[in-house]
Amino acid sequence: MLGKLLSVGLAALLSISSVASATTAPAPGARLIATSDTERQWMTESQVFDLIRRDVHFRDISDIEEYATGAVVPTPQAAMPIPTSLEYQAEVVELHQSIDMHRYLQKLTTFTSFHTRYYESPSGVESTMWLLEEINAATQNGTLPYVEVETFEHRFAQPSIIVRFNGTSKRDKDIVILGSHLDSINTASPATGRAPGADDDGSGTMTLLEIVRILVDHQFRPYLTLEFHFYAAEEVGLLGSAGVAKAYYEKGTIVRGMSQYDMTGYSGYGKIGLIRDYTDPDLGDFLAKLIDEYLLITYEDSLCGYGCSDHASWNNFGYRSIFTFEAPFGKHSPFIHTVNDTVDNIDLNYAKEFVKLGLAFAVEMSFP
């Protein structure tokens, strides 16, 4: 989760220039930072840190500048529309029986023991390598020939990780994606502060890991290719997902739907926030159906503002994406981005509902 919704005028607060002046030659090492569809500015790292400390929402669009036009990029829509009804209850409910939250907690505890998962820190890379080993173990190191694990390299050290279940369909460019982010941050001291990131986003990361493990154990084979994305560098402006979405767009990948899991373990409010801005309305309605059918908790529609998590990178490229969050925005965990975002503040029963949701999404979306 990135930042907090600001209600004041950003342009006034931060003297951010409009699109027209964004082409001014940047200083070496500067980043092109967007805080809305129309406000962007080249910033130094310390200016970016200042935004992070103020909890301002932003996207770092330096690597996708040619596509970050303010308008959604035209993208080929999937031949298969978003389902209008649920068809696989028996399969989904059977998979739900295999969820193991003790295992989830054990893995989350190790993941949070790295000092920080900040994208440019040594432990940011070590924690990612640990996660990669866990994913390799969960996928039984290639025992299933149609499951593959790859790292997606960026211009910085921390890679993103992708797990792919090759579908049986001949539509080899049509895919379904579940996303989370593997980095963490301490906003008081971004580069070096202790950042356990249990909720943000250890919870979403472990959600995807648990789902992958269950699908492999059940030898699940989707119809459409199903991918699990663990993005690098979300906290510094959605960098990992921007890189992956750009690469997929450029190779003509067609995405039936992308669903983001970022903060799923804080139950203080007790209802899911179904994020309705910078997301696809039909996919939102579909997630609402999944919640009604499969979960013990319910949801409220909510807005989280500009670029609040990785679904926004897919939205930028015109792909259908959605974000289901632990609470309506603003009612979420007060501990994130601090030393106190620890496993003690994770409600496992609550987090389990999101594992159920992700499993339901994976099955219902990857079949006709």
- Provide the minimum distance between the beta carbon of 102 and ligand NAG in the complex, in angstroms, as a whole number: 20
Angle at 99 between CA 98 and CA 102, to 5 degrees: 125
- Provide the minimum distance between the beta carbon of 249 and ligand NAG in the complex, in angstroms, as a whole number: 17
Instruction: Record the tokens describing residue 152, joined without a space.
Output: 């997606």
Q: Which of 183, 234, 280, 326 is catalytic?
A: 234
- CB nearer to ligand NAG: give 44 or 110: 110
Angle 122-138/204-217 helices, nearest 10 degrees?
A: 20
The interface mask with ligand NAG, positions 123-142, x = CB under 6 A, is ----------x--xx---x-
Within 41-80, the residues that bind ligand NAG by CB under 6 A are: none
User: What distance lies between CA 168 and its chain's CA centroid?
Assistant: 26
Total number of residues binding ligand NAG (CB under 6 A)? 12
Nearest by Cα to 35 from 64, 12, 49, 56:
56
Candidates 29-37, 144-152, 246-254, 293-301; binding stretch for ligand NAG (CB under 6 A):
144-152
Are 157 and 124 spatial neighbours (Cβ–Cβ below 8 Å)?
Answer: yes
Judged by CB under 6 A, the residue of 9, 268, 339, 349 near ligand NAG is 339
- CB nearer to ligand NAG: give 313 or 338: 338
CA distances from 70 to 50, 61, 65, 311 (A): 24, 11, 10, 16
**Angstrom distance (rounded) from CA 202 to CA 275:** 20
Q: Note whether 148 binds ligand NAG by CB under 6 A.
A: yes
- Provide the minimum distance between the beta carbon of 142 and ligand NAG in the complex, in angstroms, as a whole number: 8
What are φ and ψ of residue 18, in 5° steps?
-80, 175
- Provide the minimum distance between the beta carbon of 147 and ligand NAG in the complex, in angstroms, as a whole number: 6
Please indicate whether residue 337 is annotated as part of the active site.
yes
Please indicate whether residue 210 is annotated as part of the active site.
no
Are 48 and 30 spatial neighbours (Cβ–Cβ below 8 Å)?
Answer: no
**Residue bearing tokens 């002046």:** 21
Give the residue numbers annotated as catalytic, written as ranges.
181, 200, 234-235, 262, 337
Q: Which parts of this chain interact with ligand NAG (CB under 6 A)?
A: 133, 136-137, 141, 145-146, 148, 166, 172, 338-340
